[in-house]
Amino acid sequence: MQYNRLGNSDLEVSEVSFGCMSLEVENNSESASSLLREAYNKGINFFDTADLYNHGLNEEVVGKALKPFRDEVIISTKVGNVWDEDGSGWEWNPTKEYILTGVNESLRRLQTEYIDLYMLHGGTVDDPIDEIIEAFERLKHQGKIRAYGISSIRPNTIREYAERSDMDCVMMQYSLLDRRPEEKSLDLLAENDISVITRGTLGKGMLIDKPARDYLGHSTEEVKELQRAANNTGNPISAAVQFVLDHSAVASAVLGIRTKHQLEEITHSMKSPVSSEELDNLRSILSPKKYDQHR
C-alpha cells in the first residue's frame, strides 16, 4: 500500500481508503468492526464516515472499532446535514453555529479527542462560505480537527473555497466513467496544493462487475466497450483506481467495502498494477463529458 500526503497537512493517507457508508452497522456491528480492523491490518489507514450515515451509528461503530489504534489511523467525517426530528429526511445547515456544535457530537460518537479530517458534506456558492471557513479554522486552532475540506462536485463552489481558504482536500466523484473534474477542478486544486479524495471510483460497480447502462451521457454500448477494455487488463479494480491516482492532485480513492471478500479483492488487486499503455488505452475510449448542471 502506498501513502500520500493530504494537501499541506501532516496527514499521510493510504492510496485506497475505506468508505464506511457501505458498512452494515444496523444489525451486525461486530462484523463491521472486524472488517474495519482487517482493513487496517492490510495497510488501509484512512477511514471515511459522516454524521449523516445511519443517524450517527456509523460514526459510533467506526470509532469503537478503530479506538485500539486510534493514533495510527486517519479518520474523516463530515458535517452540514441535519436529520429531521422524525428521522425521515434531513436539511442542509452549513452555518458556523452548527459546525461548531456538530463537531462535538462527532467527537463523542467517534470516541476521540480529535478528528483528522473534517469536511463540509456538500455546499453551493450561496452558502455563507467565509463563516464556514472561520468555523473550520477555529476548530483547527482548538485542536479538535487536524485538517478540513469539502465534499463537492460543483466547480464554482470548489473554486471559491480554493481561493478563500486554507483547506487541504476536496472529495469528489471521479472515475473513468465520470471525468468531469478534469474540465475545471483537478488542475486548479493541484496548483493550490489541495488534494483530491475520489469517490465513485468504480463507476457504481460498472467498471468491475455490474451490468452496463446509460451513464452521465455515455450510452450503454459505450460503457460496455470500456468494460471490455478494463476486463482485458486482467485487473479492472486496479485499473480504475490507478486511473484516478494518475492525476497529481489525487491522494486517495475511497472505495465502499461491505465484505471481507471485497476487501481481499481490493487489496490484492493493488499489488498487480496495470501498465501505462493499458491506462492510456482506457483513457482514450470515452470522451470526457462536461458539466452542464452544477454550479
In total, the chain counts a number of residues equal to 295
Other C-beta atoms closer than 10 Å to the C-beta of 214 total 11
Q: Which DSSP state fits 82?
A: E
Catalytic residue set: 53
Give CA–CA dist 203/88, Å, rounded: 28
Q: Which of 105, 172, 92 is nearest to 132 (CA)?
A: 92
Residue 126 cell numbers, joined? 450561496
Give CA–CA dist 246/118, Å, rounded: 25
Cβ-Cβ contacts under 8 Å for 89 (sequence gap 6 or more): 83
Max alpha carbon distance in the chain (Å)? 53
Q: CA distances (Å), 265 to each of 33, 76, 270, in order?
A: 19, 23, 9
Give 138's Cβ-side CA count (13 Å radius).
Answer: 12
Q: Which of 188, 195, 193 is nearest to 244 (CA)?
A: 195
C-beta of residue 218 within 8 angstroms of C-beta of residue 290: no
First to last CA, the chain: 36
